Structure 1
Amino acid sequence: TTNAIWCVYLNLKNKTYTDYLNPSYPALRNVLFCALAGTTWYFQFFFYGMGDSQMGAYRFSGWTLHMAFIIAFSSMWGLLLHEWRGANKLTMRTVQLGILAVVLSTVVVGYGNYLGSETPATTQAAKAPVRAVAAE
């Protein structure tokens, strides 16, 4: 609903509402891309649910990793497809730092999972002194 209201507002503000009926614009291609985007959006939750059910004790980190990869990959696709063409250097630096922050946060979550996977018995055994055993 918010996106629709914003779209109508921008169409009225920029006087671009007539573009929808202009035959020179590729309406069919745009509709197909919209359908593809909607299908992709649906399947990302479908596959997230499948993966989440397999994560076991690390299930808590699934949503964080899911959202981090959505942000990182969509930003990288935008950079590769030159969606950011014409943006100034400060904007590009902000995008790069944002992607770096997402990647680093994923590393932090992974490290937290690693630390959480150490069982107390394993930790205690690692700290216990090793006794010398006499060979017979």
Structure 2
Amino acid sequence: MPRLPALLCLLFVPLGCEAPRQEWLGLYEMTGTAHYSIPGLGHLSSPVSATWRVSEGTAVEFLLSDVAGGCSLGAHLEEERALLEPGTSCSWSENGVLFTLSAVHGSVTLADGQGRFEMAGRVTATARGQLYPGEFFQNATLTRVGP
């Protein structure tokens, strides 16, 4: 059954139901910590720092993209939070090891240009020709830096 706010937006689109969605779009600096637990490779906590762009998607409501080009995550807006689409993933290489993250859950909350970006899920490291599956979670802050 559709929620009341969604029905009201369908009935009263001219009154600005799209406005909250537009407020999410822009460029953000992200800083925080990611924690990895990968059997066979160990446990690691590392700082994360990146610039992300939130834009409108085509197959998803929002696209959260690392401007360095390593990651693009789909999300949808639900009750003042952007929720990552389960299974959305990204990959990067570091010190000869290929890492692939697959989000199981994640959310972004924003208010007045500040917010939180939390996600957790599975990680697979490919090193020395072998796959090492594990888990990860990330806690980070977002600060709006541009349109």
Shared topology, TM-score over 0.5? no
Instruction: Tell me the TM-score range normalised by the shorter chain.
Output: under 0.3
Q: Which has the larger radius of gyration?
A: 1
**TM (normalized to structure 2)?**
0.25
**TM (normalized to structure 1)?**
0.26
